[in-house]
Amino acid sequence: MKPLENNSQDAEKLAAAKAAVQFVKNNDIVGLGTGSTATLAIQELAKLVNGGLKIQASASSVKTEELAISLGIPILKLETLGSIDISIDGADEFTESLNLIKGGGGALFREKIIASLSKNSIIITDSSKKVKMLGAFNVPVEVIPLALQFVLNQIEKLDGKTLLRKTNGRTFISDNGNYIVDVDFGLLENPAQLAFSLNQIDGILAHGLFIGLTSKVIMADGDEILVFK
């Protein structure tokens, strides 16, 4: 049996997912996020699609694409899309100013493209993800392999402590064939400035700081649904 705390966190994720899919309308192109919370939204969306809602969707990871197809959600290739009506995704941390850290699952690059294309970018979370300052969660950075040592040096100049992501002892490889470096910058006084500095480093494909890309965060807290926008 799962510990009680996990059950209530899962219930919050589900409540946020159910609230978010209500914003999806007939004929929308929908961006699908990645992770445990986004998965619940995809399952809820599939129920609506099977009940007659007409949408097309695009996925932020191979895993999400496989899930969506298995549930009968029509999928469009991301490279064909010039805009997305609505996207639903999770986050690792967010602040009330709607800045986020994402990428705990390594899907940050495609998630960022989807968020950037979205007219309405909705983030769904349980109550553990809301923070006063970003940075307790390490900032994921997707690095093109041949640039790894260069990027590590540059990030260290920004006072970041770097850790190459591994899973089960093996170097983690993203859907795009790249490494993920998780960086401890401490609590972030100025996440926008840090995002700008990371954007200047050649060899970084994307980082997990999502600044100004979110329309609203729907967070469940116990039985309550809170919307930050």
Which stretches of the chain bind ligand R5P, using CB under 6 A? 33-38, 89-92, 102-108, 111
Q: C-alpha distances in angstroms, 29 versus 79, 89, 108, 191, 216?
A: 13, 14, 20, 30, 18
CB of 159 to ligand R5P, least distance (A): 24
Nearer residue to ligand R5P within complex by CB, 102 or 203: 102
CB of 216 to ligand R5P, least distance (A): 16
CB of 195 to ligand R5P, least distance (A): 15
Q: Is 203 annotated to bind ligand?
A: no
Which residues have a catalytic role annotated? 111
Yes or no: say if 196 and 184 are a contact pair by the CB < 8 Å rule.
no
User: Distance between CA atoms of 31 and 121, rounded to whole angstroms?
Assistant: 8
CB of 182 to ligand R5P, least distance (A): 12
User: Distance between CA atoms of 104 and 137, rounded to whole angstroms?
Assistant: 9
Enclosing H/E stretch for 209: strand 209-210
Q: Is 177 annotated to bind ligand?
A: no
User: Distance between CA atoms of 193 and 43, rounded to whole angstroms?
Assistant: 37
Between the two ends of the chain, the Cα-to-Cα distance in Å is 36
The runs of H, that is alpha helices, within the chain are: 4-21, 36-50, 62-70, 108-117, 148-157, 191-199
Q: Is 89 annotated to bind ligand?
A: yes
Q: Is 104 annotated to bind ligand?
A: yes
Residue 74, both tokens: 């029509």
* Three-point CA angle 38, 41, 45, nearest 5°: 140
Q: Is 129 annotated to bind ligand?
A: yes
* Binding site feature residues: 34-37, 89-92, 102-105, 129
* Binding site feature residues for substrate: 34-37, 89-92, 102-105, 129
